[in-house]
Structures are given as C-alpha cells and as structure tokens.
Structure 1
Amino acid sequence: MKLYHVSLFMLLLVSCSLSTNTEQGFSNKNITLQDNRLSPEIIWQLGRVGNVSVSPNQKTVLYTISYTDIKADKSYSDIYTIDIETAERHQITSSKLNETSVNWSPDGNKITFLSAESGSTQLWTMNTDGSGKKQITAIEGGIKGYAYSPNMQQLAFVAKVKLDDDIHDLYPDLPHANARIEDDLMYRHWDSWADGYYSHIFVAETNTNLIRDNYTDIMEGEKFDSPMAPFGGMEQINWTADSKNIAYTCKKLSGKDYAFSTNSDIYLYNIADQTTRNLTEGMPGYDINPLFSSDGKYMAWESMARDGYEADKNRLFLMDLASGEKKDLSIGFDQNVGALAWSTQNDKIWFTSNHQGPEQIYNVSIASGTINQISTGQQNYRSVYPAGEQLIATKTTMNHPAEIFAVDIETGQDKELSFANKDILAQLKLGKVESRWIATTDNKQMQTWVIYPPNFDPNKKYPTLLYCQGGPQSTVSQFWSLRWNFQLMAANGYIVVAPNRRGLPGFGQEWNEQISGDYGGQNMKDYLSAIDALAKEPFVDEDKLGAIGASYGGFSVYWLAGNHNKRFKAFVSHCGIFNFEQMYSTTEEMFFVNWDLKGAYWEKDNPLAQRSYANSPHKFVGNWDTPILVIHGQKDFRIPYTQGMAAYNSAKMRGIPARFLFFPEENHWVLSPQNGILWHREFFRWLDEHLKQ
C-alpha cells in the first residue's frame, strides 16, 4: 500500500540554514513546500503565536512565536513586537532559551519574561528593543509565574512549597524504597501524582538588585494551590489598582471534598496587615480570574452558580469594591463569557463568547448592563485587548492557526497584524468550510460544519468522517488543532462532518445541559442525524463512512460501535470512556462523572444514574462488528489508559480487526512533535486501510 506520509526531508525543502548554536534562534519561516497539500509535518512547523499583550500606552503589541524543530522533538519561542499604527513587526530575541510568560512592566518601559538561562526558571527583564537583559529573581527551585504591582514597588510570584511528608520523610532509613501511601482522594490530577508540594503566592519588595529572600508567603501553611491545578495561570491572580492587595483564585478544599467540588473562591490578601478575606463567600461554583478596573472601583470575574458542575454557564460578575455589592452582568445572556478585559475608560468590559459555532467579541456596559456583539463571521476570537480606537485580538479559523488582528470597534472588521504563517499558508491548497443546519430527531435545528477536500469535485464520491467532539461540553468551533485538524483530514481526501450535537455550549444553556444524565441518548441521535443527512449527498460514499473522536468523542465512538446499525466501516477512538463503572471509580476529578452520570453505579435506587450506566459502551460490545483503532496515553489520569486497553482487548477477543496505539509518555493529549506526527500517520493509515481500499 502506498502511504501518504513521507519523510520530512522529502516533503520539505528548507531554503535557509539554521545554526545549532544556543545563541541562535530556531525558525521555520523560510520553508518551501514541495506539495500544496497540508500534512502533519507542516502543521507542526507552523508558528504558534502566544503571550499576546498590549503596551500600557496602547501603541505596541508584544507576543511570542514558537517554532518546532521536529528532528530535535522540541519547540523554541522568541519575542516579537508590532507597532499598532504602522503595523511594523520586530523580532526582539533570537535564541533557544525559550522565553515564556512574556509581558510588559506596568510602566511600559521593560519587557518581562521567565527564562531558565541561569539554571532554573526565574524572572528577567529587558529593554523594549531586546537590550539590557537583567535577572530579577533567584528563588531556590525557580518560579512558575509573576505579576508586578501597578506601582512596581512589589512583585508577586508563584513557587512550590513542600508541606506533606513522603515515604522517605516517614522512613529515612529506607532511602531506596519506592512507594506511595494514600489516605484520601485526589492523589493524582490530569497527568501528575501529588508530591507534597503546593503552588503558593509570594510577595517581595522590588528595591533590591536580585530577589533571593525577604519575601512573604501569603498562603503560609495552607495545603492549597493558587493558581489552581491543572491548567490555572496568572490570570487567576491580580493586584488591585492601588497596589495594596492581591486577589487570587483558590479552591480551599482537600481530599474527597476537593475531588467532588468545583467551589473555588476569590480571596483578597492585604499587604499591610497580612489578612485574607473571601470575596465570593456563599457563591458555590467556580469563581475565577479577578480583574480590577484601573480606577479602583470594581472587580470583574467569571462565575458559575452550581457546585460540582464544571460546564455550568460561565457568568460575568461585577463587585463594587466600596460597598461589596455583587451583580451578574450577563443575566439574560444565554451564553458563556470568557477572556475579560476592561475598557480604557472603565465604562465597559470586553469579552468573548461562543454563539452558534464561532467565538465572537462582545462588550457589556457597566451602567446599563447592555450587551453588544461587535464581530460576526466564521472565526474564533480567543482574546481581546483595548488599544485606542480599536481592539487587538487573537483569532483562529479552521483554515488558519492563531494570528493577531486589529478589530474596528464600530464595524467589527479586522485586519491581520502578525502574519506568522503567511508564507507557508500561501503555498497550501485548503478545503471549503461550510455551515449547515440539520434537523434532529426531536425537530430541533443543529449547526453542523462540513469540510471538503481541496479541489473538491461534486461528481466524485468521497469517504466521509463523522467527527465526535469531546468535552463533552466543548463547542465544535472555528478552532485550529495540532491533532484534530479538519483541514488535514480533508487534505487526505476525506469529507468531514462535525456536528454541534446536544451538550455543547453556544446554543443556549438548555441545549448544553441536555447531555448530563443522557450519555448514549439524544446526542447520539444527533450524531446519526448529521451523518445520515450528509450520506444522502451524491458526493458522499455511504459505503465508506467512519467515526472518529477523543475523550467524550472517544466514548461516542465506542458507543456508536455497538449501536450504528452497520452505517460505519471504520472507527478511531482516542482516550475514550469504555466502561462507566470503571471510569467512575478511577478518574480523578469526581465532580465531572458525578454530575454528568448523575451519581455512582452502586446507587441502585437512583434511576438517572442507572440509566447512565446502562448506556456504558462495554455493555454493547456484543454488537461490535467494525474495525477499530484505539489510542491512549499512559499518563492520562482523567480517563485512565486501562479504558483503552479494555476496549482494544474486547475487540480482539471478539475477532474484530483492531489496533492499539499506546503512548507511554503522553497524557490525555499528545504533546510532543514526533509523537504527534506518529499519531497522524497511524490515524490515516488505519482509515485508508478500511475506507479507501
């Protein structure tokens, strides 16, 4: 069989030589492609834009671009700026030191960043042209994040502190013993085991040349993390405008209580008297990401109402700091909010929200509570920052990785500024992306994306893939993915059908919440409605349909494998839930399964829970009749890898063609470049074997 994937060196002609000197940066900017078709190797070599921020004078955009050296299996980032008025771009650094957490100093005179140049990750600063690099901290063990106070007289930073004993503390005479002793839940999270260390916030004066000591742990002795694991960052920590207080996000629970709860709060630490108070006490769901107005009057934050429900409506809350009054600025707005940013005049808050597929830009008036939609069209705006009479935003589409755009506040029209991938994208032929509305079995209309192969010919018949989204509450939006990339699937000759089935945000809270307690129910009918509608098209080969997905999408594939009535000829499930009882007993964040499955499998008098467990995919294995590729990572603690092993073993024992792709070093995702490329090669090898031959 002829494989599509070929050697990187046959695929790409690098037209510039790159030094391996550690002082020389790495870039894929000047690559010339030998083929106009998207490939995994090209995806991994595209520049990834990040760390976007606007200078305090709102004249310059600061950002990073990361490029991947596939041969070295590493990515390297450098710092860039854009003059907003002239759109001129400047590269500020060129090294393999990987500057991260890049930002402006509050006065705009310095660029701040984290670097491991000194041997551990520390805070550095430099002039805005890249000169005058200076190390600011020398904290033992390094730091994970930082935030200068607005007056720049103090620095908050995040570092790990050890508060729990391990076996070698308990038994120092057994230095070679290797074991764990657990007495409660949440002993591991996402892809890491609890190690006795906690992320704490420290405060130091900035009037010394190098901060080594003389700092204060504002959470001293507390066995809690801020930012919250596993994905929280410095957006969860912020200074008040007067530099007198630090607000931080924390879930001050432990063990079983932590595992079953989403009740995080925002705490305010007073620098002068070293006291802490809970600003969101009595609000039981997630309360995160405090953001203060520059006039010192208000704090905005993101809030969910219900404890234990991680996919509850994400609301925009406002607190009057003088009176303590709280109000929901998003009441009546049947969508989630995110990426909050105060306007320059403090009269409104900018945010992004998913609406029927794409992520758009909105603002809300502080005075009236009126919400206005600024942008339209098929794109995802993922962040937004005011810059004079316009906005600076990062944007993706299914045809385009993240880039920086200037957005006109009045018209919502945007223009690209960063152009990190302009030259490579100009060499590619991409497929058309179409939005369709498809009728469901309960007479609803479901938005569905259809992605066509490049050079699509309506007179031909194409193998077609049903994409099953994960989450489960995660919109099929205009994202660009290193793994679930629809344009890459289209480039391999497949039509992709990606429905926003029941249980996804952006279509109202009722649509989003329907899935809880109904795994294997209406959302599965929605999947089949989408693929059945497209199978009627003359250009879809209804004898060559496949279903693919990860996480909840992986569960969906397992469930469809036992309930598809011979629609599909191939399945691919990545990190999917196979056995609900096993999942409930082995996952880490118990609030997820407890809410969505509506309880434990031993609750025999709980009809909602029992309905969930009756729809566990492993109970339908007797109906499996279709080849399946199972993929899983050993460090996946959200859906433990034994779920994938059980599904694969079951298929093989039933005599069904099956393959198991196992990554010992990956978690719920596939993060390393070479593993990512291998993932795609096996993904398409399997589909081509069963849908093209």
Structure 2
Amino acid sequence: MTLRATKFTPEVLLSAPRRSAAVPNPSGVKAVFTINTYSFEQHKKTSQIRLLDIESGHSTLLLDDPSFSEPTWLSDDELLLLKSGDKGSTTLAVLADVSHPGGPSRYEITSFSAGVSNIKVKKLSSTSVALAFTALTTPEGELANPETEKKPYSSAKVYTSLFFRHWDSWLTANRSSIWYTALEKQDGGKYVLAGKGPVNALSGTKLSSPVAPFGGTGDFDISTSGLVFVAKDPELNPALYTKTDLYYIPLSTFLEKKPPPPQIVDTPGLEGYTNSPTFSNSGRKVAFTRMRSNQYESDKTRLLMLPDIGDLTKVQEFYATDDGEGAWDARPDSIIWSADDTVLFTTAEKSGRTLLWKLPASPADAKDLPSQVETADGSVADLHLLGGKSPRLFVATSSLVDNSCYSVVNLSEGTNDVVSSNSKQGKTFGLSKSSTGAFTFKGAGDYDVHALVMRPSSFDENKKYPLCFLIHGGPQGAWLDSWSTRWNPAIFAEQGYVVVSPNPTGSTGYGMALQDGIAGDWGGKPYNDLVNCFESIAENLPYVDTNRAVALGASYGGYMINWIQGHPLGRKFKALVCHDGVFCTLNQWSSEELFFPLHDFKGSLYENRAAYEEWDPARFANEWATPQLVIHSELDYRLPITEGLAPFNVLQSKGIPSKLLVFPDENHVRHQYHHQPPVPLPFASLHVSRDTIPIILEAVLHPL
C-alpha cells in the first residue's frame, strides 16, 4: 500500500488496495496474487497481478490489465490466465518467464465464445497438463453465452415448479458445468490445446457444478486419477433441500472424448451439504466435509476421508462417535494435505477466530483431537503447502486491523514469520491491535457469551464514548477477528464509538449447542443474550456511555433490530439500523431457499404457523418508538424488498424519525462485492452501491 492514513475513514477503507490470497509456485519461492484498488479521485478501479518473492516479501508488477484474472501456476515460471473479451468471450493465455529481469512474455492458447472461470491445473507428465474450468452450459451441453444468445420478444417468465429464482437472478435453462481438457507443451516451449477442445464432464446428466450462488474452485478438484465434484441431488427440489453429493469421474489423459458417467461417493447417514473435496498428492485419496441434515444449511461439517478412489463405498469419518455427534465440536472447512499425504491441515472457527488445525490423515490414527497451528494474528483466510526441504505452510490471514497478511509457518521449527502485511499490521490505517479487545458475559442460560470490542485509536480510558452495538447475521454466523469491507468495526470506532460485537446464541465457533440453540427460538435466547450483553457493558465498561448507544444489524441481525424495536431493549438505543432484515417471519415463504425456514422454524408455514408468529417482529409494531434507518436491496430474493418497505411504512405512519435507503441493483448482504464504489452521494440519493454504506452511516450516526 502506498497510502498512509492519519485517520481510518470510509474513504480510506474503500480506496485501500484489496489483495487476494497469494498462491505459491511449486518450488515455494514465488507467489502470485491480485490486487484491486478504487480511486475516488479518478472514479475508477484498477487491477494488478503481482509476483511476490516469499523470502524478501518484495513484490513486482506482472500485469495491470483488468481483463486478466485467475493467475494459476503451470510451472515455477509460467502462469495460466483468463482474459475476458468482447461479447462475453474468454481467452486462455500464458505468462512465461515471470521472474525474468526484463519482464515476462505472453502468448494466447485459445479463445472460447463464452465466459469461463474457476480454472484448475494438474501436471500429468513433463509435457502435459490437465485443465478443468467451469462455464455456463446450455441444456444441450454446449457452452452458453447470455450476451450473444437470442433475446426473447417478451419479458414474461413462466415457471411450473419451485426454485424459479435464486439470490439475485431468475433461473433459466442454462446451468453451470465443469469442462476438462489438456494442454500440451510443444518443442518451442509453448503450450497448445491438446485434442479437439474441452469436454463437458457433466454432459448427459442432470448434474450441475459448482453449486450456485457461491460455488467455485472449492466445489471440485482434479488429479492424475480424474475429477471429483460436488452437485445438488437432482431428484430433490433445491428449494426444499440442501443435499449435495460428491461424485467421481475417472480420467487418465483428460482427453477422453466422452466422459465416464459420474459415480456417487457413498456417505451413509450424511445427507446435507458436501464441501471442499481435495485430492491427496498421490491422487488416490480424497478428503472432504459433509453435513448430516438435508435441510440445515449451517449444520456441523464432518471431516471425511475416502482412502481409495477405486472404492467409493469405504468413506471414513474423523472423530466419529456412537451417538453420531462426533468428538470434535467444530466445523472444519478448507483442507490441504502434507507433501507425504500423512497429515491434513484444516481451518475451523473457535472463539471469534478462524484457526488452523493439524491432524493425522487417517481417521484410525486420529486418536487425539486436532492440534492448533499458530499463525499470524486474526483469522486464516487461505493456506497452501510450500515446496522445499522443511515442511512449511504459506498462510493468508486478516484481522480487525490488518486487511491482508501473508506468513510462512515452519512446522518443524514451530515458527511463524510474516512475509508481507498489506497495511503494515494496521499502521497504514492508523490502527493497532491495542484498540481491540474482548469480554465474556453470562448468557440467557447456563453458558457464557463472547463479545469482541473495538476502541478508537485515540482512546482515553478516562473518557466516555458512545456505544455502537453490532448484531451479526446468519443467524448461524459470528463476528470474527478478521477484516471486512462490509461491516468494519474500526469505521465506527474511528468516529468516536466503542464498538461491541457480541456472539450470542446461534453463533458459530463456540460449539454446536450454542449454535443450534437458535432454531425455533429466534427472539428468545438470542435476544436475552443481547440484553445481558448491554447490561454487562453498562456494568463493566466504565468508558462506555450506554445512554448514547446505537444498534445495527444485517440479515438476521436486521431481524433482531426489528425485534428489538418492539421490545424493551429497543428503548435503550438512540437509533437503530436494519439492513436487509426480516420484518415479518411469515414472509420467509417469499424466499427462494425454503429449506431455511423449514429448519429454523421447525416446519412449514401451513403446518407450524404458531412458530412463525411467535417470533414475528411485525406482531410488536405497536411498540416501535426508536428512530431507525432501513436499508434494503431490490435484488434481494432471499429477503425481498417488501421486508424493507414495510418497516419503513410503519415507522413513517407512526411519526418515528426514519430514513429509507434502497439499492436497486444489489442483492442480499452475504454477496461479495462486484460493483466499483461510486462517488459518495448525498443521503437523499438512492442510487448508491453497498460499499458506500459506511459513508452513509457516518452521516447518520455522527450526531451522537
């Protein structure tokens, strides 16, 4: 980063360079990463691909063309890239001699008349590389391109079954599919496309992968043995069930003109989401995770092992117990193998952080629970095995004060060395770890609740500060010691607030009992936990003035804001902010993912209406009295726009000071940013990107 802020403002947050995780080359000497930066002066975004020297931490520019993306190592000094072109086309290109002092050379392999993404490669021989990617595919199994396909004469949409729209899009007949091929290196040293071109691995099946809307490279993997991937069960309606299965397609050359039929991996008793399939280095084993429930999107993930890809019926579960709950009370996520395939590394949340864990790669040998591997401050975002003689990991982390940090963990020596911090551990932002803290308080039941704290960088313990009370979404989610451009506690703290971010009932990373306790009890224990948190702040944080307090939340956090409005805790705050929240729980059936209310409200609206009505914020609208900002998005199909319009109508009709902010072209709050931040506009304007929310909140909350 070249900027250095004297104060961390919304403009600094949004203009700060955003780095991707860095991916090391096979020898572990270099790493490649992308970095995006928005300029408020020029009103545009720039994008770079950079090469990091892991030993020195110094990086050099490889490309500054935003049309290039997804740099992927072919060898120690060659990168495969995607280049977006006109009318939705994509070019496959190679950047060679990336470490050459005079700069790299570039050439093109081939072009596709469609959008291509999520590339993965695997070396098959000294001259051959397997390639897989994903692309939108027509019902006939051909590459689809929405930009060039014939447009209908009518805008009408007709559907005859559930799941007709998802997240922010009305569904069409096109589906995502995985394609495979191979690249062959010629005598001149350049790669060419082998065979007659890419093959649709899922052609002739009802399967689609990656799983929308967030699926990507984590939904599939390739090896010298073939392809494994995750796909929804085609026999179950995706609106009602979360079930995704793991499939295997044996491939030896990746030039097979007709792929073998996908074979399902058998996991008896586990019927929920499947994630993170990862081949061992030998290509014979696969580690992955799976949930048990087929209607609970946040169920506990079980770490599983397929010891031999030749037998798909012999899946083994790590830490299995007779009662089916599992001995490790955590939710493993990302997975990588050690070089000799004897050790697994995985990430899992614990007490407000995403941590790195180590365990034997055989369930039979995993007699003790995983041991934690020390990493840099904050939460682990990505990890890779580093080449070399000693066992090392290249880890990307972020924290509440540092937006991107790369470090090397030496497993044999037990050391953790920071290679590069994008913000100099927060110094570039004027932030430091000393501004963060945490405390625990008694929950509504026989359990403790954890809360994170962020104080202003100019904090003086002898002064009093207003309170910013943040409520997370999910509801099965958590506030973590990690960076966010959506809800960044430091933004509020630098306006002069002390920020408290509690993780009440429903939160992840504190054991499944606390997480699962929210089902059927949305406004019960979670609300009372928040009441206890507010009281604990008043009693134990003398530098916080709870008479000057605001509360903010999004998604389920927005639900809780509306619930708080109708209950005594709502009168403790000077203002409330509800972002894409639930106004009426009965309207959960206007969502596209009906499995969510089916689980969390323990049945359907017509079979268990009382459960929906019990926790309905609209039922207590007569008690609403606190000024409120309502933020909602017109492309939010999980919580449609009426969930924002209705509470604003209530507030206005009751004469309660209130404002409505609408994003016409944005979706629900969990979406990753895909728009450039525009010029900050006056609050009265409705056409703004979600990235300007911190700016708007600054204007709204500053008077406190």
Q: TM-score of the superposition, structure 1-length normalised? A: 0.88
Cα distance in 2 between the residues matched to 1:560 and 1:212: 62
Compared CA separation, residues 659 and 174, structure 1 to 2 (3 A)? closer
Q: Could you say which residue in structure 1 is the equivalent of 2:201?
A: 218
Amino acid at match of 1:341: I
Cα distance in 2 between the residues matched to 1:427 and 1:234: 32
For 2:123, what is the secondary structure of its paired residue? coil
Cα distance in 2 between the residues matched to 1:535 and 1:423: 31
> Which string of whole-angstrom CA distances, capped at 9 and with x for unpartnered residues, describes residues 317-349 of structure 1?
101114442111244110111111111111111
Deviation at 1:544, TM superposition (A): 1.1
Compared CA separation, residues 153 and 407, structure 1 to 2 (3 A)? closer
Cα distance in 2 between the residues matched to 1:396 and 1:292: 27
The percentage of counterpart residues that share the same residue type is 26
Cα distance in 1 between the residues matched to 2:629 and 2:265: 49
Contact preservation (8 Å) 2:271, 2:293: yes
Q: Could you say which residue in structure 1 is the equivalent of 2:324?
A: none
Q: How does 1:133-144 map to 2 (within 5 A)?
A: 133-144=106-117
Q: Could you say which residue in structure 1 is the equivalent of 2:586?
A: 581
Instruction: Determine whether 1:229 maps to 2:212.
Output: yes
> Which string of whole-angstrom CA distances, capped at 9 and with x for unpartnered residues, describes residues 83-130 of structure 1?
33343432222x23243222212x434112222157623322111336
Deviation at 1:147, TM superposition (A): 2.1
Cα distance in 2 between the residues matched to 1:412 and 1:572: 45
> Which string of whole-angstrom CA distances, capped at 9 and with x for unpartnered residues, describes residues 380-411 of structure 1?
01222222432111111111112211123257
Contact preservation (8 Å) 2:495, 2:702: no
Q: Could you say which residue in structure 2 is the equivalent of 1:158?
A: 134
Deviation at 1:218, TM superposition (A): 1.7
Deviation at 1:281, TM superposition (A): 5.5
Q: Could you tell me which of 315, 321, 334 is aligned with 1:326?
A: 315
Q: Could you say which residue in structure 2 is the equivalent of 1:312?
A: 299
Amino acid at match of 1:102: P
Cα distance in 2 between the residues matched to 1:677 and 1:303: 33
Q: Could you tell me which of 22, 25, 29 is aligned with 1:59?
A: 29
Contact preservation (8 Å) 2:666, 2:690: no
Cα distance in 2 between the residues matched to 1:164 and 1:463: 60
Cα distance in 1 between the residues matched to 2:493 and 2:17: 21
Q: Could you tell me which of 144, 155, 164 is aligned with 1:178?
A: 155
Deviation at 1:143, TM superposition (A): 1.1
> Which string of whole-angstrom CA distances, capped at 9 and with x for unpartnered residues, describes residues 453-481 of structure 1?
22212222211021101111112111211
Deviation at 1:366, TM superposition (A): 2.0
Misfit runs of 4+, over 4 Å:
71-74, 172-175, 210-213, 410-413
Contact preservation (8 Å) 2:586, 2:612: no
Q: What is the RMSD of the two structures over their aligned residues, measured on CA atoms?
A: 2.6
Amino acid at match of 1:220: S
Cα distance in 2 between the residues matched to 1:250 and 1:422: 41
Q: How does 1:433-582 map to 2 (within 5 A)?
A: 433-536=436-539, 537-565=541-569, 566-582=571-587
Q: Could you tell me which of 330, 334, 349 is aligned with 1:335?
A: 330
Q: Could you say which residue in structure 2 is the equivalent of 1:26?
A: none
Amino acid at match of 1:278: I
Cα distance in 1 between the residues matched to 2:130 and 2:479: 42
Contact preservation (8 Å) 2:549, 2:574: yes
Cα distance in 2 between the residues matched to 1:268 and 1:234: 16
Q: Could you say which residue in structure 2 is the equivalent of 1:380?
A: 379
Q: Could you say which residue in structure 2 is the equivalent of 1:24?
A: none
Q: Could you tell me which of 694, 699, 704 is aligned with 1:680?
A: 694
Cα distance in 1 between the residues matched to 2:282 and 2:67: 35
Contact preservation (8 Å) 2:330, 2:348: yes
Contact preservation (8 Å) 2:118, 2:216: yes
> Which string of whole-angstrom CA distances, capped at 9 and with x for unpartnered residues, describes residues 154-180 of structure 1?
322222122299xxx9xx999532111
Unpaired runs of at least 5, structure 2: 185-190, 321-326, 679-688
Amino acid at match of 1:535: A
Deviation at 1:513, TM superposition (A): 0.5
Compared CA separation, residues 118 and 104, structure 1 to 2 (3 A)? farther
Amino acid at match of 2:203: E
Q: Could you say which residue in structure 1 is the equivalent of 2:79?
A: 111
Q: How does 1:52-91 map to 2 (within 5 A)?
A: 52-71=22-41, 73-91=43-61
Q: Could you say which residue in structure 1 is the equivalent of 2:655?
A: 655
Compared CA separation, residues 519 and 458, structure 1 to 2 (3 A)? same
Cα distance in 1 between the residues matched to 2:380 and 2:406: 10
Cα distance in 2 between the residues matched to 1:664 and 1:443: 44
Amino acid at match of 1:489: F
Cα distance in 1 between the residues matched to 2:273 and 2:425: 42
Cα distance in 2 between the residues matched to 1:175 and 1:549: 40
Cα distance in 2 between the residues matched to 1:356 and 1:420: 25
Cα distance in 1 between the residues matched to 2:405 and 2:641: 35
Cα distance in 2 between the residues matched to 1:677 and 1:220: 39
Q: What is the total number of aligned residue pairs between the two structures?
A: 645
Q: Could you tell me which of 215, 232, 246 is aligned with 1:251?
A: 232
Q: Could you say which residue in structure 2 is the equivalent of 1:275?
A: 261
Q: How does 1:362-373 map to 2 (within 5 A)?
A: 362-367=357-362, 368-369=365-366, 370=368, 371-373=370-372
Contact preservation (8 Å) 1:291, 1:300: yes
Cα distance in 2 between the residues matched to 1:304 and 1:81: 38
Instruction: Determine whether 1:122 maps to 2:91.
Output: yes
Amino acid at match of 2:317: D
Deviation at 1:356, TM superposition (A): 1.1
Amino acid at match of 2:220: I
Contact preservation (8 Å) 2:405, 2:418: yes
Cα distance in 2 between the residues matched to 1:688 and 1:48: 27
Deviation at 1:69, TM superposition (A): 2.7
Cα distance in 1 between the residues matched to 2:85 and 2:152: 32
Deviation at 1:518, TM superposition (A): 0.8
Cα distance in 2 between the residues matched to 1:478 and 1:423: 13
Q: Could you tell me which of 590, 593, 604 is aligned with 2:594?
A: 590
Amino acid at match of 1:586: S
For 1:291, what is the secondary structure of its paired residue? strand
For 2:460, what is the secondary structure of its paired residue? coil
Q: How does 1:417-432 map to 2 (within 5 A)?
A: 417-422=419-424, 425-426=427-428, 428-430=430-432, 432=435
Cα distance in 1 between the residues matched to 2:153 and 2:95: 45
Unpaired runs of at least 5, structure 1: 1-28
Compared CA separation, residues 51 and 136, structure 1 to 2 (3 A)? farther
Deviation at 1:252, TM superposition (A): 3.1
Q: How does 1:589-628 map to 2 (within 5 A)?
A: 589-603=593-607, 606=608, 610-628=610-628
Q: TM-score of the superposition, structure 2-length normalised? A: 0.87
Contact preservation (8 Å) 1:227, 1:236: yes
